[in-house]
Amino acid sequence: MKHLTKQTIDQIDLHGKRVLIRVDFNVPLDETCEITDDSRIRAALPTINRAIDEDAIVILCSHLGRPKGTFRKEFSLAPVARRLQRLLNKPVQFTEDCIGPAVEAVVKKAEPGDVILLENLRFHAEEEQNDEQFSAQLAALADVYINEAFGTAHRSHASTVGITKYVKVAAAGFLMKREVESLEGTVENPVRPFVAILGGAKVSGKIGVIENLGKKVDKVIIGGGMAFTFIKAMGYEIGKSLVEEEMLDFAKRIQAQALDQKIKFYLPVDCVVASSLDADAETKIVPIQEIPNGWYGLDIGPASVTLFREAVQNAKTILWNGPMGLFERDAFSQGTFQLAHAVANAYAKTIVGGGDTALAVYRAGESERMTFISTGGGAALQLLEGKHMPGLAALPDRI
């Protein structure tokens, strides 16, 4: 198991301190601002509870959505405060801003063991600008800073990078530690056979992951919209399915490299196609070579599910990032959901990259049976590419 080289919360004295924890409470909300999935809140509970148990004054800060530097009620963290209160079974004080005299007054009055949630950091444009003054104002609220927001560790923001210059003590939380160790550890030292499943819309968004994992896996399974770029690169017609013309040469090269390195490379053999993108469009299942002109490939078909299920059956490590189709629509959800069942049933360590894949596994009812589900979509991708993570790099090294 790879160990995080950064200082972590369990190495720090939190007793009686003001502890500012940067969490990732960027949770999905419906039209009525009700939380539809609170797994990101639950994931931070061990770190929050550790600070409460140590009689710290716990100050939580997060972003939600993309309010672009202005107050927008639909992006308020108020619903999160209510849910967190239920999960902790204790009061959570919610402030109407994240910096300023009113917030400072709340923190000053707080008693050991109290929990405060600050309003959305991104209501201030300075957060995403990694502004020095904003960073310093956040830091002034705390004696100790804990970064628990893996989902934003790939961003250079005030609450992830700038703040570390102004606090005396900084460390990674339990979730941050687990995310990095699970993802990096899986890629660097997998139990074999190691299978990577890559889906989602575009090849271009996964170039780094494909190249980095391509050297380390035993099998690669490609699905989702990105599969059609590989299929077109092989010379097949793909109708109106998603394709990145500028990625065709890359797709050919990657496939050739995999064959050279004796890596088994799987593409869909059939797909579910629709006559249009309308919700009530006609659909049918066709072999990959027979996608009709003007039709859209929107999911892998049953023969592909069988092929992919067999490919993961003997795996000891499975890394999955990206759905197999437009799973948000019932007509195109089966490929992704059936694969989720196959991955859950494999006798393997199963790591699910965050974002859409995490949502798909949750909707398939298989989230409890995965070894680890990342809370960070873009951050997980960047880590799997082996790229620099500013939010992680800003933390001090383990002594």
DSSP string, 71-122: --GGG-SHHHHHHHHHHHTS-EEE-S-SSSHHHHHHHHHPPTT-EEE---GG
> Which residue in 2, 202, 264, 329 is the catalytic one?
202
Strand partners, 286: 271
Q: Are 244 and 229 in contact (CB under 8 A)?
A: yes
> Which residue in 40, 178, 240, 349 is the catalytic one?
40
What is the distance between the alpha carbons of residues 228 and 236, in angstroms, rounded to a whole number? 9
> Which residue in 239, 355, 376, 377 is the catalytic one?
355
Q: Confirm whether 40 is a catalytic residue.
A: yes
What is the distance between the alpha carbons of residues 395 and 81, in angstroms, rounded to a whole number? 27
State the burial class of residue 313 (Cβ atoms within 10 Å of its Cβ: 0-12, 13-18, 19+): middle
The conformational region for residue 252 under phi > 0 = left, psi -120 to 50 = alpha, else beta, is: alpha
Run of H or E including 270: strand 270-274
Q: Confirm whether 202 is a catalytic residue.
A: yes
- Going by their DSSP bridges, the two strands 283-287 and 115-117 should be labelled as unpaired
Give, as one character, the DSSP assignment of residue 299: E
- Sign of the Cα pseudo-torsion (281, 286, 288, 289, in order): negative
Tallying the residues shown for the chain, one arrives at: 399
Residues whose CB falls within 8 Å of the CB of residue 50, separated by 6 or more in sequence, listed in order: 9, 10, 14, 174
Give, as one character, the DSSP assignment of residue 365: T
> Which residue in 205, 214, 378, 386 is the catalytic one?
378
Give the type of residue at 62: S
Annotated catalytic residues are 40, 202, 355, 378
